[in-house]
Structure 1
Amino acid sequence: MKPKSHIVNLPVYQPGKPIEDVKRELGLDEVIKLASNENPYGASPKVKEAILAELENISIYPDGGAVELTADLASSLGVNANQIIFGCGSDEIIALLARAFFVPGDETIMADQTFSVYKSNADIEGAISIEVPLVDGTHDLDAMLDKINDHTKMIWVCNPNNPTGTILSEQVLTAFLEKVPGDVLVVLDEAYCEYVTDLSYPNSIQYLDKYPNVVILRTFSKIYGLASLRIGYGVGQPEVIKLINQVREPFNTTRVAQAAAKAALKDQEYIATCRAANAAGIVQLQGAFDRLGLEYFPAHGNFIMVDVRKPSGDIFEALLRKGIIIRGGHSKYPTYIRVTVGSQEQNKAFIHALEQVLEEEKAHA
């Protein structure tokens, strides 16, 4: 049995460590997961009602085109239904973009520390990833422009960027789009956009008419609290969405996920509450980091990347033993950890554990 030669050594995506594994491996009763940027407050109560109602139809195939959900979302965004495609999480849309547009030898540009799925899907399709170093944790758009050539097919811009949490302003992003050739797709990954409170952040939907080469990715996994149901979407010009749809598998989103997303979309009051709580949590964590003398990137999503001044793997393991799961292992930032903004109580527990770990590290130095 021989696989494609170029996929043999591809890394497998490593998600945040599950709570159940940590409890079992370390014999802990209480574990707090702040590793996967999930909403600590869960989904809207209206979502749970919609899920229970949809269970009556569990034996029936889902709507392969997600027609009702598409109509609701199109109305909410102010776009046409044929400008939207749904996927099993927005990461499936990333895979579909790679499948639809890349042929071996194409080049694709991205930051050198961003969502790893861009590169892995490019690798699968035989495209060449050009990784451009971040500057102060932020995309260097001028340097990315300099890398564009006749082989460039697609540029990925994660805004807010995962894992650093930084954003690009409307002014900066617009100037960038003005200079990108029209035959190069620009994918704006906005998985965390609903958390952003900074007024300089762009309303990217307004780009679609002026820049037909823009595709926007968003998800119901983060602020909407539907991570386990795997539903995200892309928005772009109809001709681009049609091409992506042509390589999409049928029934790629479930009845339950579609029903949940429709209910979640309608409860914007709940989303506003989550946004406000997240903003307060950012202040809580930043205050603790300031007190501890730790540097961190400006946080605009629901996570913060902070420099703990020790190998992140060591801090990850030490926190794990105290029942706190975070993320480390970022190759360009070996002493940084990424922590999800939890509830006030979760943040407090994390801060206490981090203080203990840093003191223990100091004692062993």
Structure 2
Amino acid sequence: MNEFIKKKGRKEIFDLKPYVPGKPIEEVKRELGIDDIIKLASNENPIGPSPKGVEAVEKALAQLHFYPDSNCFYLKNRLSEILGYENENLIIGNGSDEVLKLIAETFINQGDEVVFADPSFVEYEFTAKIMGAACIKVNLKDFTHDLEAMLQAITDKTKIVYICNPNNPTGTIVTEQEMDYFMNNVPEDVLVVFDEAYVEYVEAENFASGLKYVDQGKNALVLRTFSKIYGLAALRIGYAITTKEIAQAIERVIEPFNVNMLAQVAALAAIDDHEHVKKSQNLNSEGKQYLYKEFKNLGFDYVPTEANFIFVDTHKDIQFIFNKLLQLGVIIRTGDIFGYPTYMRLTIGTKQENERLINALKAILEE
């Protein structure tokens, strides 16, 4: 390593592990020379972006020479109308990933601790470590957040607790009753961040949004995104709902023009594209039931999901399955990166994509 970097670089960055995204389609095309590829690795919407969002982007293209609205005024107004909060309760970010980084920059000092489940979304650890925090990981229980153990992990150094609900990569939820108990016992000086990136896919009746605790005035923040059900992942736009005081603090570290104009207009249009949302939900629900049935037939175990992906135990070396699927033009996410070497996390696709996945798995198992 360069001596200047070694001496002058912030020591925290040398402990960071770069985020490894799902393998891109173009990369597989280059490596294997395959053109017909489906990607079931990154929890993207298989039917594509909101048509209303696409139309809004097309109309806005002639305005690319203008800087975007730094305050996201119109999007905040619409979110306020839909969610029942004032603009001052909202933070808009360059994806919810940026909002996580903004939260860390606002609240974490070197030596603080953060608590989150393991495995869960890797960005909690990444953004906390950048700021010099110690990351306290609490193992899942039955693939679900163990809130009792997370409470016990809180110390006087704990600054933030992250709850991914539904959880990525397992797709499980924490129920309202479990959440109430947790929030009634968590210290008042701890910020609880509820990451609800997949909330629109939840079908369980015993689910409750973290917005309940924002309404109660607790130190709580709820993350949402336009990347998943609205299909705007490439544009990078997400948001947070929290108390006015917390939002005002976070606003102090937001860069000017952090959300591009095309993302803003697309999100503003997509949020009212109810037809696209309903179509996405129905497709996901039907695909989930089909895959459950087929996994049972294959002898695979799976974690029942409330998201648009399923965590599946193939009972085989997942790298073997992964590479065989790649050769058949199917990209999945391997579970070994989460500590589960026989598992895969796969996005629920279209009917045709789901059938192609199952046929590919059958062919591999019959070899």
Query: What's the TM-score once normalised by structure 1's chain length?
Result: 0.97
Identity %: 47
Report the equivalent of 1:4: 10
Given the alignment of the two structures, is residue 60 of structure 1 paired with residue 58 of structure 2, yes or no? no
CA contact (8 A) 1:316 1:325 kept: yes
Report the equivalent of 2:301: 295
CA distance in 1, matches of 2:167, 2:318: 19
The number of equivalent residue pairs is 360
Say which of 73, 76, 84 aligns to 2:79.
73
- The aligned runs of 1:151-300 (5 Å cut-off) are 151-300=157-306
Say which of 337, 341, 346 aligns to 1:339.
346
Say which of 88, 99, 104 aligns to 1:98.
104
1:120-173 deviation per Cα after TM superposition (whole angstroms, max 9, x unaligned): 111111100000000111000000000111100000000000000101111111
Unaligned runs of 5+ in 2: none
Say which of 139, 143, 156 aligns to 2:145.
139
1:211-231 deviation per Cα after TM superposition (whole angstroms, max 9, x unaligned): 421100010000000000000
CA distance in 2, matches of 1:336, 1:347: 17
CA contact (8 A) 1:212 1:236 kept: no
Q: What's the offset of the Cα at 1:314?
A: 1.9
Give 3-state SS (helix, strand or coil) of 1:357's partner. helix
Unaligned runs of 5+ in 1: 361-365
CA distance in 1, matches of 2:162, 2:52: 34
CA distance in 2, matches of 1:203, 1:163: 19
CA distance in 2, matches of 1:93, 1:203: 18
CA contact (8 A) 2:50 2:232 kept: no
Q: What's the offset of the Cα at 1:266?
A: 1.1
Q: Which amino acid aligns with 1:5?
A: K
Report the equivalent of 2:54: 48
CA contact (8 A) 2:309 2:345 kept: yes
CA distance in 2, matches of 1:154, 1:204: 15
Q: What's the offset of the Cα at 1:29?
A: 1.5
Report the equivalent of 1:119: 125
Q: Which amino acid aligns with 2:223?
A: L
CA distance in 2, matches of 1:331, 1:50: 38
Give 3-state SS (helix, strand or coil) of 1:61's partner. coil
CA distance in 1, matches of 2:291, 2:298: 11
Q: What's the offset of the Cα at 1:359?
A: 2.8
CA contact (8 A) 1:47 1:264 kept: yes
